[in-house]
Amino acid sequence: MAEPNSPGVAFVAHCMLNQNSKCDGGARCPGIYSPLVDLLRERGWRIEQMPCPEHSFLGLNRFWLVKDQADTLAFRRHCRRQAKVVAGAIAVHLERGTDVVVIGVEGSPSMGVRVTSSSAEWGGRPDKGDDEYPLVPGRGIFSEELVAELAERGLGDVRASGIEHQLPTYDQAAERRQISNLLEQPDGR
């Protein structure tokens, strides 16, 4: 049975609902990222906050990092444990006939959906000065583990997109259109 009065449930990256959980210097605004939350509320979508694997693994006093630095056995296992919890919640909503989307953060080493960060040269304390943050196509570690966990459960592709507010090409109007399209296409295409 579908959930009443809601077109669906959006599983949202932790930092979109709590910018204060980002690494030092990473927050784009205090508190919630209102462009996303406002859009979800306008459309009547329920919001479920996903955990932040970087925050829960490395703590609040952490440096920014790239996927190569985070991709250790311990961190990947940590992400997989958290992905199992999120996939379980997604499964419950899907069993009820509720539409589900996942909204990550593009450029994130863990929550990137289509864009993550990568550099074989980064290691230890960030000391790259004014070098641009190295972005590459691909998923972050948590996103990879969530996709794998959903596949293992036979849940197939759950529609997903990422907030692009930290990318150099960020365009708020384009992002709003992209998220609106994600929410309006229950067939996923």
d(CA 176, CA 182): 10
Q: Tell whether the model's pLDDT for residue 123 goes beyond 70.
A: no
Q: What is the pLDDT of residue 24?
A: 63
The answer to the question of residue 5 being in a domain is no
As a whole-number percent, the residues of the chain with pLDDT over 90 amount to 54
The answer to the question of residue 52 being in a domain is yes
Q: What is the pLDDT of residue 92?
A: 97
Q: Which domain holds residue 167?
A: 10-123+132-184
Could you report the per-residue pLDDT of 53-80, keeping only the tens digit for each?
988 888 777 677 889 888 999 999 999 9
Domains of the chain: total: 1
d(CA 147, CA 139): 10
Alpha-carbon separation of residue 73 from 51, 68, 69, 70, 143 (angstroms):
19, 12, 11, 9, 16
d(CA 152, CA 8): 23
Question: Over the chain, what is the mean pLDDT?
Answer: 86
Comparing CA positions, the residue from 135, 17, 162 lying closest to residue 67 is: 135
The answer to the question of residue 189 being in a domain is no
Instruction: Please give the helix or strand (H or E) that residue 57 lies within, else none.
Output: helix 53-58
d(CA 176, CA 167): 15
Q: Residue 94 carries which side chain, given as an amino acid letter?
A: L
Could you report the per-residue pLDDT of 86-104, keeping only the tens digit for each?
999 999 999 999 999 999 9
Comparing CA positions, the residue from 186, 188, 183, 162 lying closest to residue 43 is: 183
The answer to the question of residue 55 being in a domain is yes
Q: Which of 17-26, 102-111, 139-148, 171-180 has the lowest mean pLDDT?
A: 17-26
pTM of the model: 0.88
The answer to the question of residue 3 being in a domain is no
The answer to the question of residue 106 being in a domain is yes
